[in-house]
Amino acid sequence: MQRPTLIGVLVFVSFVSAAPAFAQSKAKAQNVPEIAYDSVPNFLKFPPNIYLGEGIGVATNSKGHVFVYTRSGETRLFEFDQNGNYVKEWGQGLYGFAFAHAVRVDPQDNVWAVDEGTNMVIGRVVGKFGRAGKLPKEFGMVNSIDCRNENELYIGELTNWRVQRITLRASR
């Protein structure tokens, strides 16, 4: 059996390291029109000593308010008005906020936060529900939520490999 030569090894390494570049160049779309857009620098105006960190989730309500879910150091949910002015922080110190994942606003302007660390879905008006697990009504690393109407949710989970359809009902 022959030992690989230095030139052979260099050719192999060059080929392997170039493969991702070739793959990316094949994925480029051609003849696609450029979409014109504007960006507002520093749109969000934070009070002193509050900083954004990782912007994990962003959602807006019918009034144009912007909700930003962040997880740097601690999980926080901020509300800003339509001009980017700070309104308030939601659920500061809430035990259900451990590792932010997503935020959504449903058609009734209820704000829903998905927390990956506690496997909880937390809602402003309706409340909270769920716990970690694999059974129905339990969640395994909630990844996404969609609010169809005032009492119907779809919740996507990573570790359970499923989407649960949740129908909310009045408390007894």
What is the per-residue pLDDT for 63? Answer: 95
Kindly state whether residue 60 falls inside one of the protein's structural domains: yes
* Cα–Cα distance measured from residue 9 to residue 115, given in angstroms and rounded to the nearest whole number: 47
* Domain total in the chain: 1
For the cut 70, the answer to whether the pLDDT of residue 14 exceeds it is no
What is the per-residue pLDDT for 27? Answer: 60
Kindly state whether residue 47 falls inside one of the protein's structural domains: no
**Weakest mean pLDDT among 15-29, 50-64, 82-96, 130-144:** 15-29
For the cut 80, the answer to whether the pLDDT of residue 141 exceeds it is no
| Per-residue pLDDT band at 126 (split at 50, 70, 90) | very low
Kindly state whether residue 123 falls inside one of the protein's structural domains: yes
Kindly state whether residue 144 falls inside one of the protein's structural domains: yes
What's the CATH number where 141 sits?
A: 2.120.10.30
* Cα–Cα distance measured from residue 3 to residue 6, given in angstroms and rounded to the nearest whole number: 9
Kindly state whether residue 69 falls inside one of the protein's structural domains: yes
pTM over 0.85: no
What are 56-63's contacts with CB under 8 Å, separation 24+? 56/100, 56/101, 56/102, 57/100, 57/101, 57/102, 57/103, 57/104, 57/113, 57/114, 58/103, 59/103, 59/104, 59/105, 59/111, 60/105, 61/105, 61/109, 61/111, 62/109, 63/109
What is the per-residue pLDDT for 71? Answer: 85
Would you state the structure tokens that stand for residue 165, as one six-digit string? 């359809």
DSSP code string of 25-58: HHT--SSPPPPP----TT-SBPPTT-----EEEE
Kindly state whether residue 19 falls inside one of the protein's structural domains: no
Q: What's the residue count for the chain?
A: 172
Kindly state whether residue 2 falls inside one of the protein's structural domains: no
Domain that holds residue 160: 55-167
What is the per-residue pLDDT for 156? Answer: 80
What is the per-residue pLDDT for 45? Answer: 93
Beta strands in 64-105 (DSSP E): 66-72, 74-80, 86-90, 100-105
Mean pLDDT of the chain: 78
For the cut 80, the answer to whether the pLDDT of residue 18 exceeds it is no
Kindly state whether residue 148 falls inside one of the protein's structural domains: yes
